[in-house]
Chain A
């Protein structure tokens, strides 16, 4: 209810400012123009959305696979941690604008460079939260596993990995949102379809309402993915949302 009221208030303010304010409508379209573009361009938006969603989905899966492997390797080996962790952080500071043309030169205009960009942006939050989750296991529990003769790997498999799942989901929730930004930038750097490509074209042709309609679709997609992850987590890990350790 409060969410709806806030959204309506923001939209109302935007509408008034766009209609009555000093800004030209080709710079800032009013919500009703954006809504009209959403309706008129729906098939155009949908076909571009499917390619962007594909890039985001596959990029996220690639990021997840790389993150799980990296987090496990870093968790097990202090040497890998010292060697790789600084590089991971450094990788996040390379601007997409610098990386993208190179990837396009290497991998062409197809989906491959987009997947790489989305994956490079997304794996970082997943690795960092996953490592925190793995390290956050109660030291007493690790001691208990040692007295039960558990190997390092058994402790990981039976205790540490399950404990880190809630952290993994937190990382994934951050990742889906930055994945959307990554996909748009990737498409900016050379593509023939996708919502990022559509935004770029629409802005060049001063079709601002269409660009904003594409933004609305992207935002709705990010919110939906975020909500879906939250629901899945509550289903899969109900124990993570209870207060634990309360003795009665």
Chain B
């Protein structure tokens, strides 16, 4: 597992779990604006995620959740503090499936994109074979030759999730994966994601503003304050899986998370 180090001003890694796949320590990040001072998205942000742990990050809009994922995925660097993360695959809110490709080829994109890098050679046929196997494992085999416009929003997110898994990264960064879906489909997808992660355990950082989603899927919920974002409270979700949204303990933890958000 290769690691990426972004060295900032204050090294306080020793207070964190060094073996953890994701360590975010004292991170600040701001964005320049055309006029006036930059926007401070994150300030003094600390979070670590252990191997195989699913951590949900909830917070109000504009609390720097997406900034956090970009840092963890290595798409940007912190202004201060440290981000150490195992290689991470990103699943964006919009599925970003290529409209000209079938579901199969969209899933296989994760393998074909990498071909030619790091001495990896993946032929189109090999990529398709592996993508087909994983689609079938998730009962999506019959949709392999469908184009994105022929799939429902939920189906498209399932294909996008399979693509994310095929990237073969130990860490998954899910950026409000079901935010654009209607309420019923979203509930279905939350149960589906929880089941999928039981089948394919990964270290997951799930950004969402759906508190129920966080409690249903995650082992731990980090509540982030309004901009500039920092972790205000962390709530352990020590419940067996599969979880039911009607379970009183789920409802109670949802309530606690809601209170922490206020």
Contacts and interface: CB of A to CB of B under 8 A. Distances in A.
Contacts of A239: 99-100, 147, 149
Contacts of A237: 100
B115 interface: yes
Given A149-B113, A158-B109, A237-B100, A247 B89 contact: no
- Size category, A interface: 20 to 34
Given A147-B89, A149-B113, A151-B117, A247 B181 contact: yes
Interface in B181-231: 181-182
A146 interface: yes
Contacts of A145: 113
Nearest to B89: A147
A109 to B, nearest CB: 45
A51 B157 CA distance: 54
B98 A247 contact: no
Contacts of A240: 99
Interface in A151-187: 151, 153-155, 158-159, 162
A247 B75 contact: no
A148 B109 contact: yes
**Residue from B88, B114, B173, B180 having most chain A Cβ neighbours under 10 A:** B114
A148 B116 CA distance: 12
A32 interface: no
A150 B110 CA distance: 9
Nearest to B95: A247
Contacts of A144: 90, 92, 96
Nearest to B151: A248
Nearest to B115: A154
Nearest to A150: B113
Contact of A162 (B100, B147, B153): B100
B30 interface: no
Contacts of B114: 148-150, 154
Given A148-B89, A247-B181, A248-B153, A140 B113 contact: no
B19 interface: no
Nearest to A144: B96
A242 B92 CA distance: 22
A78 interface: no
A159 B115 contact: no
Nearest to B179: A247
A151 B96 contact: no
Contact of A138 (B96, B148, B156, B169): B96
A155 B156 CA distance: 21
A147 B152 contact: no
**Residue from A146, A149, A239 having most chain B Cβ neighbours under 10 A:** A149
A244 interface: yes
Given A147-B75, A148-B167, A242 B110 contact: no
Interface in A200-247: 237, 239-240, 242, 244-245, 247
B113 A158 contact: yes
B104 to A, nearest CB: 14
Contacts of A244: 99, 148-149
Contacts of B70: 143
Contacts of B117: 149-151, 154
A141 B94 CA distance: 10
Nearest to B175: A140
A140 to B, nearest CB: 5
14 contacts: A143-B73, A143-B75, A146-B75, A147-B75, A148-B89, A149-B114, A150-B114, A151-B116, A151-B117, A158-B98, A158-B113, A244-B99, A244-B148, A247-B180
Given A154-B112, A162-B98, A245-B94, 6 more contacts: A140-B92, A143-B90, A154-B113, A154-B116, A242-B99, A247-B153
Q: Would you list the 9 A-B pairs with minimal beta carbon distance, nearest first?
A: A247-B153, A150-B113, A148-B113, A239-B99, A147-B90, A149-B114, A239-B100, A247-B180, A147-B73
